[in-house]
Structure 1
Amino acid sequence: MTAKRRIKIFDTTLRDGEQTPGVALTAEKKLEIAHALSDLGVDIIEAGFPINSEIEFLAVKRISKEVDTTVCGLARALKPDIDRCVEADVQLVHTFISTSPQHLKYQMGKSEDEIYKIAVEAVEYVVDHGLPCLFSPMDATRSELNFLIKVCKGVEEAGASIINIPDTVGVMIPSSMRELMKKIREEIKIDLDVHCHNDFGMAVANTLAAVEAGCNQVQVTVNGIGERAGNADLEQVVMALKILYGIETNINTEKIYPTSKLVERLTGIRIMPNFPIVGDNAFAHESGIHVHAVLKKAETFEPIKPEMVGARRRLVLGKHVGVHGIDAKLKELGIEVNPEQLKEITTKVKDLGGKGKRVVEEDLVAIAEDVIGMVPKEERKVELVDLVLNSRLSKKPIASVILRVDGKEKKATEEGVGPVDAALNAIRSAIGEEKISLEEYHLDAITGGSDALADVTIRVSKGENVILARGVHEDVVMASVIAFINGLNRILKIA
């Protein structure tokens, strides 16, 4: 049996990823990420640019010492840069120089012959120190092809172990990248690497195209972070190679999601909810039809199992959710309900979703417990038909209610010290039950944010009978009214 093709993963989260605007990792954070990358199974960790600062140098040196993975340091094609990498005890030196006409004219101010000589001498200098060398002709994808190949051949002869082809400003499309890499592959015998930027959203596609053309190694960052629009992201590249191409890597895919969340937390760069593989919505389902199918057979609407990347499936509760989705989530939470209760819970969740509320697990638990605690619909003596509140700074709030009591409409208007007090006074007045007392009132916000559901628990008494009741709603007054009416129905049933 033919062995599967295997691609090496070169991770540059700690170097190119740290060039993301606003990201500045401490040495401790860099070390924590480096350990996570090592556990993840990347083949090479580009730990930083040692010449950049003493802090950067010490961080790279510490990572080289403590992490059990090949550690690479970045160096311009300058002897002092390379010396600093050697002093940092890295196991691989990544040296680079620009080769495009734009860079030669406006950045370097040098001729092609000068660039060629500098590149070859830099690689020879690394090799003379007994270290393997990865060479990058920066801005390769905008370089003149003959000169690019000449430089690649020169550094290969000088002893480079790997040549990286960077799409420095992300201008390639997959067909062009595939063609370029094929031409370079025909001329170069050592390993080829690719480094794609995401300026046009092509980084992952271009990376995969390079692999199709014979590339042996890919440069990626966790969550695709990096300068400007970022880099090819590790998660998508690794899983596309595995699932779509049948190509293996050394990555332990079950650690992809935890590593992604660690980098998100330590860098402060939030992952978009719809980001492939690791975004919050990558394995989330809300549509009732989709949820029903996913619960029967996950493959109906999922290309991979979330467990493959260390994530889990989420059934999102919103306006599109169906009975099957709610039922599955309740069972997952260990909550048993009858068909009537399930229907009522589903209605409440869909109503909240229709108002733009994202219902999370804590909300669902509160809604379910609220519904479970209700008197069955056919046994309810009191139902709310309408509630109108009039609240002004200079006067006490006034509440007007319309109730259905034993099938007959009852109306009342009362004031109170606050809107909740006014509403409850009006309800008492409408049903004519003055002996019913509110003994205790407790309000909780289930989740954070201004749109959090209000969870009201009350103690209601009539004579010697005392019961607890609960109401959940996005409006505090309505949550209080629901709790009070739930309490009324229960106490009137036993009184």
Structure 2
Amino acid sequence: MRALSDVGEVQFLDTTLRDGEQAPGVSLTPDDKADIARSLDAARIDVIEAGSACTGPGERETISRVAGLDLDGTVTSFCRGIRNDIDLALDCGVDGINLVVPASDKHVEQKVGTSKSENVDNTVELVEYAVDHGLWVEVIGEDGSRADLDYLEELLGAAVEAGADRICWADTVGHATPDRALECVSRLSDLGPVSTHTHDDLGLAVTNALVSIAAGADLVHGTINGIGERAGNVALEEVAIALDHGYGVESMALPEVYDLAQLIANRTGIPLAPNKAVVGENAFTHESGIHTDGTLKDDSMYEPYPPEKVGRERRLALGKHAGRAGVEAALDEHDVEVTDDQLSEIVSRVKEIGDRGKRVTDADLLTIADEVTGDARDRRVELLGLTAVSGSDTPTASVRLA
């Protein structure tokens, strides 16, 4: 196991357009996928899995469109262990494939209905076929975290010998604990370049991704916002900031993260949780009087890294926990001058609203200030933007005002 601070650049494979779209209720249009793919490329994502060519004609049209965008990243299609899937991917003009083959006894014998030796032989044939057709090839051992490790080594070792560019340890059902991730990836990294694919069913997706990197993996599969089946895939933006802030390791263009997260939330209809790390509304929002006062004195007092690093801005919220410093700073932003006594009264009224479970908006604050100071003003609100998303289980709308 290596120290993460000794790791060089880590690459990302984004599967938002494939594994992310498998989240219940999500269906992305060709325009959606093209827009997301461009944004992923702008964020310097190394590999973009555009979908599964075997899904149907509509999906192949979409994959072809993404493949034709002339992106800097490698565009791939997810393929099952069937030659026709590779042919369909080739028809889409992708750069490579992510070839998934069964690895655990459950998947080899019950799902596919074959033997372990036949599974190895079939994988070798498929890899050789794909390589002969000029494709970049990654072989994923499905359900690898529950596979017999000796067999997983045999299977993926044979794939490397057949010409695969890399192999992937897949915690398909989010079953693994960090010690299992360490054991598996450490052994697989001796075979060749290895990737890691983690899910969050145990809340360990980021931890297992970081442990995998320490064990030798140099490419992480994941999605933006952590969307995906069940509890979701690992959130790439969380891995990226952990690597950057904690260890000085580069992965993606972090300033692009927030806009990318918003785009995907809007197009998928899956809203961001307010307390979501990195991209949630509250990630850089301070309400507590103690925290607000400290933040006004030193930006880093209650933040691990500056919001600008991930394309965000700091926000001071007003509510029941607000203090004089926060309210005064909010008033200063609107060029409202008050006396000490007036400030005390405004703080008291802000807390009263907060005690009723309400959030105090800028409009609320200015109205309170007008009432306390007796200075009625002509308040005008400018609509900067309106976005509405429907057609999913949870319709959403975003409004930007000034």
TM-score w.r.t. length of structure 2: 0.90
Say whether 1:75 aligns with 2:76.
no
**1:317-342 Cα deviation digits (max 9, x unpaired):** 11011000111112123322222222
Q: Per residue, is there more strand in 1 or in 2?
A: 1
Shift of 1:287: 0.9
Aligned partners of 2:196 and 2:212 also within 8 Å: yes
**1:255-306 Cα deviation digits (max 9, x unpaired):** 1011101110110101111111111111111111111111111222100101
Aligned partners of 1:38 and 1:67 also within 8 Å: no
CA RMSD, Structure 1 to Structure 2 (Å)? 1.8
Q: Which residue of 2 aligns with 1:16?
A: 19
Q: Which residue of 1 aligns with 2:234?
A: 232
Letter in 1 for 2:13: F
Shift of 1:47: 0.6
Letter in 2 for 1:203: A
Aligned partner of residue 116 in structure 1, secondary structure: helix
Out of 30, 33, 37, which is 2:33 matched to? 30
Q: Which residue of 2 aligns with 1:134?
A: 138
Shift of 1:4: 6.4
Aligned partner of residue 300 in structure 1, secondary structure: coil
Q: Which residue of 2 aligns with 1:488?
A: none
Shift of 1:167: 0.1
Question: Identity over aligned residues, as a percent?
Answer: 40
Letter in 2 for 1:252: A
Letter in 1 for 2:46: D
Say whether 1:308 aligns with 2:312.
no
Letter in 2 for 1:221: T
Q: Which residue of 2 aligns with 1:266?
A: 267
Out of 55, 69, 73, which is 1:66 matched to? 69
For 2:254 and 2:333, how far apart are their aligned partners in 1? 25
Aligned partner of residue 229 in structure 1, secondary structure: coil
Aligned partners of 1:35 and 1:67 also within 8 Å: no
Aligned partners of 1:100 and 1:143 also within 8 Å: yes
Q: Choose 173-182 or 271-280, whichever is displaced more.
A: 173-182
Letter in 1 for 2:316: L
Q: Which residue of 2 aligns with 1:91?
A: 95
Aligned partner of residue 106 in structure 1, secondary structure: helix
Aligned partner of residue 118 in structure 2, secondary structure: helix
Shift of 1:175: 2.2
Shift of 1:70: 1.4
Letter in 2 for 1:131: L
Letter in 2 for 1:280: E
Q: Which residue of 2 aligns with 1:101?
A: 105
For 2:182 and 2:362, how far apart are their aligned partners in 1? 46
Aligned partners of 2:145 and 2:180 also within 8 Å: no
Letter in 1 for 2:136: P
* Residue correspondence of structure 1 range 202-281 to structure 2 within 5 A: 202-249=204-251, 251-281=252-282
Q: Which residue of 2 aligns with 1:175?
A: 179
* Residue correspondence of structure 1 range 361-380 to structure 2 within 5 A: 361-373=362-374
Aligned partners of 1:284 and 1:314 also within 8 Å: yes
For 2:375 and 2:367, how far apart are their aligned partners in 1? 13
Aligned partner of residue 320 in structure 1, secondary structure: coil
Aligned partners of 1:4 and 1:248 also within 8 Å: no
> Are residues 317 and 168 of structure 1, via their aligned partners in 2, closer, same or farther at CA, if it must alter by over 3 Å?
same
Shift of 1:181: 0.9
Aligned partner of residue 147 in structure 1, secondary structure: helix
For 1:136 and 1:45, how far apart are their aligned partners in 2? 15
Shift of 1:95: 0.7
> Are residues 58 and 285 of structure 1, via their aligned partners in 2, closer, same or farther at CA, if it must alter by over 3 Å?
same
Q: Which residue of 2 aligns with 1:355?
A: 356
Select the structure of larger CA radius of gyration: 1
Say whether 1:144 aligns with 2:155.
no
Shift of 1:67: 4.3
For 2:163 and 2:264, how far apart are their aligned partners in 1? 35
Aligned partner of residue 66 in structure 1, secondary structure: coil
Q: Which residue of 2 aligns with 1:317?
A: 318
Q: Tell me, which stretches of 5 or more residues in structure 2 are unaligned? A: 382-402
For 2:338 and 2:82, how far apart are their aligned partners in 1? 71
> Are residues 350 and 54 of structure 1, via their aligned partners in 2, closer, same or farther at CA, if it must alter by over 3 Å?
same
Letter in 2 for 1:290: H
Q: Which residue of 2 aligns with 1:50?
A: 53
Aligned partners of 2:331 and 2:337 also within 8 Å: yes
Q: Which residue of 2 aligns with 1:159?
A: 163
For 2:166 and 2:363, how far apart are their aligned partners in 1? 52
